[in-house]
A and B are shown apart, each in its own frame.
Chain A
Amino acid sequence: MSEADLQALLITLQLAGVTTVILLLIGTPLAWWLAHARGRWLPAVEALVSLPLILPPTVVGFYLLVALAPQGPVGRVVEALGGPRLAFSFAGMVIGSVIYSLPFVVQPLQNAFRAIGPRPLEVAATLRAGPVDRFLSVALPLARHGFLTATVLGFAHTVGEFGVVLMIGGNIPGETQVLSIAIYDHVEALDYASAHKLSAGLLLLSFLVLLLLQRAGRSGGTRS
């Protein structure tokens, strides 16, 4: 594997790792709220969260490029606050990946929280557990399988991302060139041997991740 390909692999894993951590931090409260909230805004928020499932990644990438430009709505605010340029940067790709993988983390968590039902939490409440205590020592352990699924799906989906990072990454080797882009480059440059090598590696990695998920699901799956 060439130096550039190795870098692309490292960036891909970094991007997927950072994205997954951020998604778990944002996704947990969001999924908790979605699992318990009622009201007329709920369907709208749920639809919004699921939107990236339907939208072509190029749509997300295109609007991100518009929004992050120095004259764009987000770019202007960031620039005014003295922040960095986000397009063609690792941070920009993280933003894109967080948006694009959001439903893959939120939906498993939401389902897991819903599956717990009100009963265990009520019992905990009668034992005088506070809301934070109830969440940490009752809801979290009961939803652990949901967390596992969410983590693996969020990570795997970011590894497999192509359209968004193609649009906002700028394909800078060692900075924003991820594995899927590197493969595409090899194909366009007619270097099919390198494309094969990377593709087969990615295929194997994805299979192992899913295998791991299946096994974990079987051993801890009684809860969900």
Chain B
Amino acid sequence: MGRAGWLLLLWMLVLPVQAGEVLRVAVASNFLPVARLLAHSFEAETGHRVKLVPGATGRLYAQIVRGAPFDLFLAADRVRPQRLEREGRIVPGSRRTYALGRLVLWSPDPQRIRDGSGILRRGDFHRLAIANPRFAPYGRAAREVLERLGQWQALAPRLVRGENIAQAFHFVQSGNAELGFIAAAQWQALPAARRGSAWPVPANLHEPIEQQMVLLSPRPAARAFHAWLLRPESRTLVRRSGYEVPADE
């Protein structure tokens, strides 16, 4: 490499530093598409860079407790952020609800789900995919729905459990499970032609899926992104993407 080449390399290394800070944001996989849009607008506005690290909320929590270098954590529930708060790992006062998750029962087959929850009572399917109810918030909500419909016992042997809601979605999308409880946001993100048939689960059938976020570092850029996510424009985008947002705090 000639001198010009070295200079170019050096310039490329220095460039991101000049352009702003780099943030690492751990995000529950169900929120990733929306987080991407919000990160893009934030980057365009401020010149900072946002690196999104998607994963299951429980795993991300375990990594944070072990010192993973995240600035912000967008969890899929309230439990893990509360724990982090109790353990004194967050910037005080930064635990906020950024979205309320909704469930959809989905089949890629347009003819399959015709009468809402009726298919769950009839049970004329082979496999039903859900996120793991033991630790995934959407899985826990799916379990509550099945319990309130009185179908949990009957359907338990036919459940396949994804590590998180993204894997539950993939089980259905690939055709290996005919049905699955997925996040409403995932369903809305599908092209209209591939939405098949669905039953938007009424919110009163499960405890609210309160998705909370916490600031893990006091850096100004991290605070700025935290505030960015709560702006009215951001909340509108979140609502349009298939979530509800809490009433103004």
B176 interface contact, C-beta 8 A: yes
Chain A residues with Cβ below 8 Å from B177 are 88, 170
A109-144 CB contact bits vs B (8 Å, 1 = yes)? 000000000000000000000000000000000000
B40 within 8 Å of A by Cβ? no
Contacts A69-B176, A170-B160, A170-B161 given; does A188 touch B171 at CB 8 Å? no
Report how many A-B pairs have Cβ atoms within 8 Å: 63
Take A166-B163, A171-B161 as given contacts and tell me if A188 and B62 are in contact as well, using a CB distance cutoff of 8 Å.
yes
From residue 189 to 232 of chain B, which have CB atoms closer than 8 A to chain A? Answer: none
Kindly provide the distance from the CB of B103 to the nearest chain A CB, expressed in whole angstroms: 19
Q: Is the interface of A mostly helix, strand, loop or mixed?
A: loop
What B residues does A188 contact at CB under 8 A?
A: 56, 58-59, 62, 132, 134-136, 163
Distance in angstroms between the alpha carbons of A88 and B162 in the assembled complex: 11
Q: Is there an interface contact between A189 and B134, defined as CB atoms closer than 8 Å?
A: yes
Q: Does B126 contact A (CB under 8 A)?
A: yes
Chain A residues, CB < 8 A from B170? 65
A216 part of interface (Cβ distance < 8 Å): no
User: Given the interface contacts A187-B59, A188-B62, does A65 sit within 8 Å of B160 by beta carbon?
Assistant: no
B61 an interface residue at 8 Å Cβ cutoff? yes
Closest to A184 in B: B163
Chain A nearest CB from B104 CB (Å) reads 20
The interface size of chain B toward A, counting residues with CB under 8 Å, comes to 24
Pick from B127, B135, B157, B159: contact of A185, CB under 8 Å: B135
Bound complex: CA A75 to CA B177 (Å): 13
CA distance A35 to B236 in the complex (A): 66
Interface check B175, CB cutoff 8 A: yes
B174 x A171 contact (CB < 8 A) = no
CB nearest neighbor in A for B57: A188
A68 CA to B171 CA, complexed, in Å: 11
Cβ distance A4 to chain B, nearest Cβ, rounded Å: 10
The distance from the CB of A166 to the nearest CB of chain B, in whole angstroms, is 7
B135 proximity list for chain A (CB < 8 A): 185, 188-190
| Contact A185 B174, CB 8 Å, known A85-B126, A166-B163 | no
Q: Which 8 A-B pairs have the closest CB atoms?
A: A170-B160, A188-B58, A69-B175, A87-B176, A189-B135, A171-B161, A188-B135, A88-B160
Besides A75-B175, A172-B160, A185-B132, 14 other CB < 8 A contacts? A66-B174, A70-B176, A71-B175, A85-B126, A88-B176, A166-B163, A171-B132, A185-B134, A185-B135, A187-B58, A187-B59, A188-B58, A188-B163, A190-B135
User: Which residues of B pack against A, CB within 8 Å?
Assistant: 56, 58-59, 61-62, 126-127, 129, 132, 134-136, 157, 159-163, 170-171, 174-177
Residues of A within 8 A of B (CB): 65-66, 68-72, 75, 85, 87-88, 166, 170-172, 184-185, 187-190
